[in-house]
Chain A
Amino acid sequence: MIEMISFYGVAFLILLAMLYIIISRDIFRSILSMLVVFLLTGVMYFIMDMPFLGVFQIIIYTGAMMILFVTAINVIGRVNDKKDKFPYINIIAVLSVCGFFAIFALALCSLVAYSPLEFTRQIVSFKDVAITFFTTYSFQLILSSLLLFVAVVVVYNFLRSDDNEI
């Protein structure tokens, strides 16, 4: 029951953020909405009993990819055709951040208070994860590392050649 309620709540919030991405004309606000979508997708993995995927989602998508997008926009400059005027956006942003932290703290407290043993059992031991990665899934680990390395080399070459020519 709790799983279902949390699923519908998170799904509703994700759809709202997606609608805002479709409606918004400002790139920066669209990217912030995308951050919300990625963060809540991580929460959805937690609902699916896949906490490790949720943590990866939050680290890779919400952390790394958002930094990439924001950096790219800062390098290019904010290219907005029309800036939409949304009143009280700062107050809403502060309230939503506070609300998010309150919900997160409440969820954490309730997990620790009501089921301390289960909660500690759910925390994945990093030693186990490392053993699994470097034994069972070593091929996948090497493949993804190679992919990321190739991407870094390609990006470096793109940007370096561009600097030389301009």
Chain B
Amino acid sequence: MKFEFMIFSFILFFMSMVVFFKTTNIIIMLMGIELMVNALNIAIANLVWIKYSFFPPVWVMIIFAITAAEAAIGLALIIVIAKRMKTLDVKKLSNIKEIFK
């Protein structure tokens, strides 16, 4: 049963990678990163559950905090970029230096 959780978290991680790589929209790319961390959290919680890890479950909560901080900063960046460049397409953001000049 615990093995299935690990396989499931791997599948979820790779599907999140597909979400990240298939799109050129920055918000969906950030969503992909969040989903990857979510899959990682499931794997860590599973390791805690089967006691193969020295990670106490409270570290998963720290990962929650890190993810929340990362999402807040990422979304703020995206808002700034979208306001200045009027686009969310990564391909059109190749001159990122000029955005923050």
Interface residues in chain A, defined as those with a beta carbon under 8 Å from any beta carbon in chain B: 3-4, 7, 11, 14-15, 18-19, 21-22, 27, 30-31, 34, 37-38, 41, 44-45, 48-50, 52-53, 56-57, 60-61, 64-65, 68-69, 71-73, 75-76, 79, 137, 140, 143-145, 147-148, 150-152, 154-155, 158-159, 162, 166
Task: Determine if A155 and B73 form an interchain contact, defined as CB atoms under 8 angstroms apart.
Answer: yes
Q: Is the beta-carbon distance between B73 and A72 smaller than 8 angstroms?
A: no
Report if B98 contacts A (CB, 8 A). no
Q: List 28 A-B contacts (CB under 8 A).
A: A3-B1, A7-B1, A11-B8, A15-B15, A18-B19, A27-B27, A37-B35, A41-B42, A44-B5, A50-B49, A52-B57, A56-B64, A57-B41, A61-B64, A68-B71, A68-B72, A69-B71, A69-B75, A75-B79, A76-B83, A79-B87, A145-B65, A151-B68, A151-B70, A155-B75, A158-B79, A159-B79, A162-B83
SS class, residues of chain B in contact with chain A: helix
Max chain A C-beta neighbours (<10 A), residue from B45, B66, B87: B45
* Cα-based distance from A56 to B68 in the complex (angstroms): 12
Query: Which residues in chain B, 32-91, are within 8 Å of chain A measured between CB atoms?
Result: 34-35, 38, 41-42, 45-46, 48-49, 56-62, 64-73, 75-80, 82-84, 87-88
Residues of B with Cβ closer than 8 Å to A?
1, 4-5, 8, 11-12, 15-16, 18-19, 22, 25, 27-28, 31, 34-35, 38, 41-42, 45-46, 48-49, 56-62, 64-73, 75-80, 82-84, 87-88
Given the contacts A7-B1, A148-B68, A44 and B42 also touching, CB distance less than 8 Å: yes
Q: Are A65 and B69 in contact (CB under 8 A)?
A: no
Q: Whole-angstrom distance between the alpha carbons of A72 and B87 in the complex?
A: 14
B1-A147 in contact (CB<8A):
no
Contact in complex: B57, A64 (CB < 8 Å): no
Please report the C-alpha to C-alpha distance between residue A44 and residue B46 in the assembled complex, in whole angstroms. Answer: 10
Return B39 CB to nearest CB of chain A, in Å: 9
Query: How many Å from the CB of B16 to the closest CB on chain A?
Result: 7
Closest A residue, CB atoms, query B2: A48
Residue contact A72 to B75, C-beta cutoff 8 Å:
yes
Q: From B31, B68, B72, give the contact of A30 (CB < 8 A).
A: B31
